[in-house]
Structure 1
């Protein structure tokens, strides 16, 4: 049995398409189009349109907020770097033991040591509160922008029946 994937984009193609979808800053921060929506239907229409139109910009906003949240929680940043660096170092051994001269450590022992160190540090670093803050801040920023930024004049009436 053979499985064929015909419509899968490679990561580089997907990234190139996303970068091409980034809207200019003057369009993203067009204060002339900021207005209070009249009703919930208008909010829904604006959010639907803006989430689609500015999706790449919103990914950048999310990335910036992610970096900011990690810089606010330096212990979590340290734990992430420690775990990533340790996993990379263990993978560089390619299954061989680590010889320190006075002792030999197997990759299983190294993984256990990493777990024993990283799990308590991870709990102390409070990643859940950082993730909740990130989700809340991103939601407020993105949905707030999408709800209060009106459609451009040329697209304002495209979804309405005449």
Structure 2
């Protein structure tokens, strides 16, 4: 019960902090504000402004790419489920030693079996390539969007208030 309350509070604070920074899809995909930057300085200033302004939307893009990567790599999904489920099962059912025939099965031996099976399964699933794919795809999409999207009128007011 206490864990459910903590999860609810965490989701509520996440919604208040991160999801409040989401911009509407019409603003995020405003085709009238798309243009090629004139030079590298303009591209850099656009990326700097847009990464702050659209940070919530970019977070959703990274999360969506992460979910896509997990769903398209079933071996990685199975390996993560096996390890997480194994930890949960051992913590719930295995804290006390269990006598099986002449052998005593302890929590330590259960963790050893979990790691001996789970780590090679995880290695075979290639999580590092998945992480690098998520980072590369996210960086490409975010930088491309931030570079070609012209800052709105509100960016001019932000520069004035920063200099005052």
- Counterpart CA distance in 2 for 1:102 and 1:42 is 74
Query: How many residues were matched structurally?
Result: 152
Asked if 2 retains the 8 angstrom alpha-carbon contact of 1:43 and 1:147, the reply is yes
Cα 1:157/1:40, change in 2 over 3 Å: farther
Q: Which residue number corresponds to residue 53 of structure 2?
A: 53
How far apart, in 1, do the equivalents of 2:37 and 2:58 lie? 20
Q: TM-score, normalised by structure 2?
A: 0.82
Distance (whole Å) between structure 2 residues aligned to residue 145 and residue 118 of structure 1 = 39
List runs of 5+ in structure 2 lacking aligned partners. Answer: 1-8
1:120 counterpart residue number: 120
TM-score with structure 1 length normalisation? 0.83
Which runs of at least 4 in structure 1 moved beyond 4 Å after TM superposition?
98-104
Q: Is the 8 A contact 1:98 1:107 kept in 2?
A: no
Q: Which protein is richer in helix relative to its size?
A: 2
- The residue that corresponds to 2:77 in the other structure is 77
2 CA distance for matches of 1:140 and 1:23? 20
- In structure 1, runs of 5+ residues without a counterpart are 1-9
Q: Distance in 1 between matches of 2:139 and 2:133?
A: 10
Alignment of 1:3-82 (within 5 A): 11=10, 12-82=12-82
Distance 2:80 2:133 in 1: 18
Q: Distance in 2 between matches of 1:59 and 1:99?
A: 49
CA distance in structure 1 between the aligned counterparts of 2:68 and 2:123, rounded to whole angstroms: 20
How far did residue 90 of structure 1 move?
1.2
Question: Deviation of residue 94 (structure 1)?
Answer: 6.5
Q: Which whole-Å CA distance do the structure 2 matches of 1:103 and 1:66 have between them? A: 43
